[in-house]
Each structure stands twice: as structure tokens, then as C-alpha cells.
């Protein structure tokens, strides 16, 4: 099993008979999925998604893949292939198309509808081509065939890529639900046929690789949802992803049985479900939907609200309800149903919301206490089936944290893939397929790109570190006015501190230390403002670290008078 090493350097030129794969996101993380394929000087992008920020990304709205690897080769991109319509696979498309707006987008009907609605908000009119399972398209040096796979959103596709350098099968996100709500099975017959043809490199979804057995069918959670609806006293508030069409369908069906009306809450939920209904992927019972503005005319026990915020997103509807910042005032007797799994890293935010809602008196039903969600990803048993059917020459686990990809690699080897042909890579690591053998050959720059308000890429790790210090440690300003002629202190030091529990008077203790440090520095001939600011910063930092056991941001200001 090969894997990246810290000493990896810039990869060599790709041989004419080589196929290069570089993941710009999605390896070592759950989200930001994006893979770039290269052969004969041409590029093919598979997925282009976002990663949602965690607690250690204060102020960040979204995290994008780093496009710098392809920024000067945009004319070489033949297309962006989208496997399905979840944000972690399509959310960054507008940002890539802002660099070059005429890159063709290829995907299923629903996937394209969702991404085109997103692009419309960015005032981008894309060149798009809708494809469906079984369809085959030749795009220059890339020959693509699309395969139906089952996921938690309809119309998901795997993509098989034929090139002169070899073949590649990318599953996208998938599972093998044998009783899918829409009747659309993962096409294992196509997987077997492609396996017979020969899959040189298999890129497989790793998200549930460390979960034994088989993922529970979607159909089995319907009774649990129905039970919640039967026992709810007042309103039912359901939180799920705004693109989870299957889950919304189950909620609509349960509401119809219970004789309740349904209102969609949140712009993305209204938009996406409207698209799904219009295209026939969502069956909306007649007369069941009501506008959010008219819910006050209904009794509480007649109403179901479907909203976003199942991952604890601070600006989503459910978070604002938990914080009493939403027009929906959650209270005793209300039932809140979290109909989604926890994305790794979001646990604290979600439990914070659960606690907040329960404190308000709501009954909160979630995956931890009821069978109200099943995963959209293949578990270990399903992945073994796929390996045995496809019999790939080489395997590159994708989509997941390191523990998920490692578990996936172990499954590949258990199924008979030679250890040296299983490649574990992280974002930016270059994997070349040459003469049927996949090997790590180098690494390219591949950092996080932060969307911070209207700024894209302006925020960096240094800025986020400053924000974390301000959030966690507070800050101290120290203003000193020096006599320009003599260098002696004319006024100050004046200390201002924020974010400390200690009384402000305690900071007067540091003033003599600052005065002494400045006098010693001036005596040594230091007169430069920046150097004097460093002197103040060291004096204050040393004192506050020893006295208060904190490492705040220290902002020294030196003025000459």
C-alpha cells in the first residue's frame, strides 16, 4: 500500500502513455470533493464541491478547493463532470466558472438543475449537457460512460473514463440500497461489465468504509418517521439537507398520512425542492404545501416545517430557532426531527443545538435515539461486493477522512488487490497511472481557499489564527507617546484589555515593566517605531503569560510627538 511522504516534490512531466489524477479536495476530509484527470495535455474535472467550516474557521462561510494547480491551464479543461447534486460536490462550481465561464458542465438532469440555479445567483450562464445512465460521450481524449448509482439524492452517477493511457472508474458517492425509494438501483451489472473490460484505477467512496455490514435501506426508516408524526403533540420541525430529496419525500408522505400541512423554511430548501418537484423527482401531494407566511392560520397540530440546519450551521433556520432568533418560536410540545447523520467535525455544533432546543421544551428526535436517518454511503460489505465485481487493477480510495480511506484500502486488499496497487493519497498528491500501474509521483500546492463574506481567497491561516486568538485569548492594546527629540516617554503607557475576567486594575501592574523596557531600548539607540512596538509586545506578553496564564493578541502603538 503506497502512500504520500513529507519529502514529496513537484511531479515529473506526465509520460505520453500516462493518466494523472490529482485530488484538489475530498481526500482526508468529508467535503470539497474535486479530482482533476490529465492525459495528452488535456484535463477533466470530476466534481467541484465545498467544505463547510468548523469551529476553528471563525468568520469563514465556505472552504473551496485550491484552483491554483489548474489556474493557468483553464483552456485545457474539456469539461466538469458532476456525479450528483450535493453541495460538497457542486458548491464550488460558480467559483471555478468565474475564472473561465465557458467550461462545459456535464451531469444528470437534477444535478444540472441544482447547479444552474446556483449559477444564476452568481449571474453565470453555463454551457451544460445533461446525461443519463448508460450514455457514452467522447470529449477529446476522454471517452466517458455514465453508470446509475444509488445515493441520498436522486440521479447520482458514477463515471467510467476510457483513455489511451488506461481506464478509470469513479463511483462518486454511492450505496447499494436494494429497496430504493425511487426504484433506481446501483447498476452492478454495468460495474461487472466494466470490470470485464478492465478497470485500471478504481476511485471509491470511503465515507462509510469503517462501518461493518450493509447500509440500512431508506425504506426502513419510514415507520420511525411515521411513529414520530403519530406521537407529536404540536408542531413538527424536520431538519435535513436542502438537497435531500428522498428524506423530504418521506416527510411529505408521513405528513399526508397524518393530515398535516407542510411549509418549507429557508431559501435553499424552497428552491431545491421546487426544482425537484418540477422535474418529477419529488411527489408533492395536492394541497399539502402552505406558504411560510400563512402558517399562523393553522393549528400547531396541523403543521410540519421542513428546514435546513441539521449540521448545526450557525446561520441556518434550526440554529436560529434554537437561539430564539427566528420567527418560528420553538416551545414545549413541539417535536424537532433531525433527519440526517452527523458529518465528522460537526458534532459539537449539532449537540449544542439539540441542547438549546430541549432547553426550550422541545422533544428532539435524532439518529442517536431513533431510527430516523440512514447513510447515503456504502458500508464495508457493499464495498467488498464492488471490489469483487469490478476486480480493479489499482485502487485509490476517495471521499473521506484518513481513517475512512485507510479502512477502504484494507477492504481492497482483503478482496485481492495487491498491496502495492492500493494508493492512499491526500489532497494535492499526484497519482500517475502508467502501463497499468498507479504510483504516487509528487505533490502540488493545494491549500484551503476561504470564502469570507465577499472575499474569496483573501483569508489565510494567519488571519484565522488571529481570529482564534481574539476569540479565545482576548486582546490588549498599549499606547505610548514618545518625545521625538529625546526618545523619552511623553504620555502613557495606556493599557486597554478586552476578553479578560480580571479587573482592569490588574493591567496597571505591567506599566512599569513597559516603561523600563522602552527606556532600556532607547538607551541602546533603538528609535524605530516598529522595533519599539516589538519591545512593548515582548514586555506585555511576558507579563500576561506569567501573571494571567493567557496568550492574548497584543497591539502596541508608538506615537512620536
List binding-site positions for substrate. 373-377
Cβ–Cβ under 8 Å, residues 19 and 165: yes
Q: Which of 529, 487, 492 is nearest to 508 (CA)?
A: 492
Residues in the chain: 561
Cβ–Cβ under 8 Å, residues 515 and 494: no
- Give the torsion through C-alpha atoms of 363, 367, 371, 376, to 10 deg: 140
d(CA 533, CA 499): 22
**Strand (E) positions, 383-436?**
394-398, 429-434
SS3 337: strand
In the structure grid, which three cell numbers stand for residue 78, read together? 474539456
Alpha-carbon 212 to chain mean position: 24
DSSP codes of every residue in 388-424: HHH--SEEEEESB-HHHHHHHHHHHHHTT--GGGBB-
By CB atoms closer than 10 A (0-12, 13-18, 19+), residue 556 is: buried
For 188, other C-beta atoms within 10 Å of its C-beta total 18
Going across the sheet that includes 449-452, the strands are: 62-64, 449-452, 455-456
**Residue 533: HSE in the Cβ half-sphere, 13 Å Cα cutoff:** 13
In the structure grid, which three cell numbers stand for residue 70, read together? 489548474
Q: Which residue is it, cell 509586545? A: 537
DSSP codes of every residue in 286-317: TT-B--GGGGGGS-GGGEEEEES-TT--TTSH
Cβ–Cβ under 8 Å, residues 102 and 75: no
Binding residues, by number, are 373-377
Residue 388: φ, ψ to 5°: -70, -30
Q: Is 140 left (phi over 0), alpha (psi -120 to 50) or beta?
A: left
Omega before 191 cis (within 30°)? Answer: no
In the structure grid, which three cell numbers stand for residue 374, read together? 440512514
SS3 2: strand
% helix, strand, coil for the chain, step of 5 = 35, 25, 40
Cβ–Cβ under 8 Å, residues 174 and 207: no
SS3 201: strand
Q: Are strands 236-239 and 429-434 parallel, antiparallel or unpaired?
A: unpaired
Q: Which residue is it, cell 521625538? A: 484
Q: Which of 178, 175, 179 is nearest to 152 (CA)?
A: 175
Amino acid at each position: 500500500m503506497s502512500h504520500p511522504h513529507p519529502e514529496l516534490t513537484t511531479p515529473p512531466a506526465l509520460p505520453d502513455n500516462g493518466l494523472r489524477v490529482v485530488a484538489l479536495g475530498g481526500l482526508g476530509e468529508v467535503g470539497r470533493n474535486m479530482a482533476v484527470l490529465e492525459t495528452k495535455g488535456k484535463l477533466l474535472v470530476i466534481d467541484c464541491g465545498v467544505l463547510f467550516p468548523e469551529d476553528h474557521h471563525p468568520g469563514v462561510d465556505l472552504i473551496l478547493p485550491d484552483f491554483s494547480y489548474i489556474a493557468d491551464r483553464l483552456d485545457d479543461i474539456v469539461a466538469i463532470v458532476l456525479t450528483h447534486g450535493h453541495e460538497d460536490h457542486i458548491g464550488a462550481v460558480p467559483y471555478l466558472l468565474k475564472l473561465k465561464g465557458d467550461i462545459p458542465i456535464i451531469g444528470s438532469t437534477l444535478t444540472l438543475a441544482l447547479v444552474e440555479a446556483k449559477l444564476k445567483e452568481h449571474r453565470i450562464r453555463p454551457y451544460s449537457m445533461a446525461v443519463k445512465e448508460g450514455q457514452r460521450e467522447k470529449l477529446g481524449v476522454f471517452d466517458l460512460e455514465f453508470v446509475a448509482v444509488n445515493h441520498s439524492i436522486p440521479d447520482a452517477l458514477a463515471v467510467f473514463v476510457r483513455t489511451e493511457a488506461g481506464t478509470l472508474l469513479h463511483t462518486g458517492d454511492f450505496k447499494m440500497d436494494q429497496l430504493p425509494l425511487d426504484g433506481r438501483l446501483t447498476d452492478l451489472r454495468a460495474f461487472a461489465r466494466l470490470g470485464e473490460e478492465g478497470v485500471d484505477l478504481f476511485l471509491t467512496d470511503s465515507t462509510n468504509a469503517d462501518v461493518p455490514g450493509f447500509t440500512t435501506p431508506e425504506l426502513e426508516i419510514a415507520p420511525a418517521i411515521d411513529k414520530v408524526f403519530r406521537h407529536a403533540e404540536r408542531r413538527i420541525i424536520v431538519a435535513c439537507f436542502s438537497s435531500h430529496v428522498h428524506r423530504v419525500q418521506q416527510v411529505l408522505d408521513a405528513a399526508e398520512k397524518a393530515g398535516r400541512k407542510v411549509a418549507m423554511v429557508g431559501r435553499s430548501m424552497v428552491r431545491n425542492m421546487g426544482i425537484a418537484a418540477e422535474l418529477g423527482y419529488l411527489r408533492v401531494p395536492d394541497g399539502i404545501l402552505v406558504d411560510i407566511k400563512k402558517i399562523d392560520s393553522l393549528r400547531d397540530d396541523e403543521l410540519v416545517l421542513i428546514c435546513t440546519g441539521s449540521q448545526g450551521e450557525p446561520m441556518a433556520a434550526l440554529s436560529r430557532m434554537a437561539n430564539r432568533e427566528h420567527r418560528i418560536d420553538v416551545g414545549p410540545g413541539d417535536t424537532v426531527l433531525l433527519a440526517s447523520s452527523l458529518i465528522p467535525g460537526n458534532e459539537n455544533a449539532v449537540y449544542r443545538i439539540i441542547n438549546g432546543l430541549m432547553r426550550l421544551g422541545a422533544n428532539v428526535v435524532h439518529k442517536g435515539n431513533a431510527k430516523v436517518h440512514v447513510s447515503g454511503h456504502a458500508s464495508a460489505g457493499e464495498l467488498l461486493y464492488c471490489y469483487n465485481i469490478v476486480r480493479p487493477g489499482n485502487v485509490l480510495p476517495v471521499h473521506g477522512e484518513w481513517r475512512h480511506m485507510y479502512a477502504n484500502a484494507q477492504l481492497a486488499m482483503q478482496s485481492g488487490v495487491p498491496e502495492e496497487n492500493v494508493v492512499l493519497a491526500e489532497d494535492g498528491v499526484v497519482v500517475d497511472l502508467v502501463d497499468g500501474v498507479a504510483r504516487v509521483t509528487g505533490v502540488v500546492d493545494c491549500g484551503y481557499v476561504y470564502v469570507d463574506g465577499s472575499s474569496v481567497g483573501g483569508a489565510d491561516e494567519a488571519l484565522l489564527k488571529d481570529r482564534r486568538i481574539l476569540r479565545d485569548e482576548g486582546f490588549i492594546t498599549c499606547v505610548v507617546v514618545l518625545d521625538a527629540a529625546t526618545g523619552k516617554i511623553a504620555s502613557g503607557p495606556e493599557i486597554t484589555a478586552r476578553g479578560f475576567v480580571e479587573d482592569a486594575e490588574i493591567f496597571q501592574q505591567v506599566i512599569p515593566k513597559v516603561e523600563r523596557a522602552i527606556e532600556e531600548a532607547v538607551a541602546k539607540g533603538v528609535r524605530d517605531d516598529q522595533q519599539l512596538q516589538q519591545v512593548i509586545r515582548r514586555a506585555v506578553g511576558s507579563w500576561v503569560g506569567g501573571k494571567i496564564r493567557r496568550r492574548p493578541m497584543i497591539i502596541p502603538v508608538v506615537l512620536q510627538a
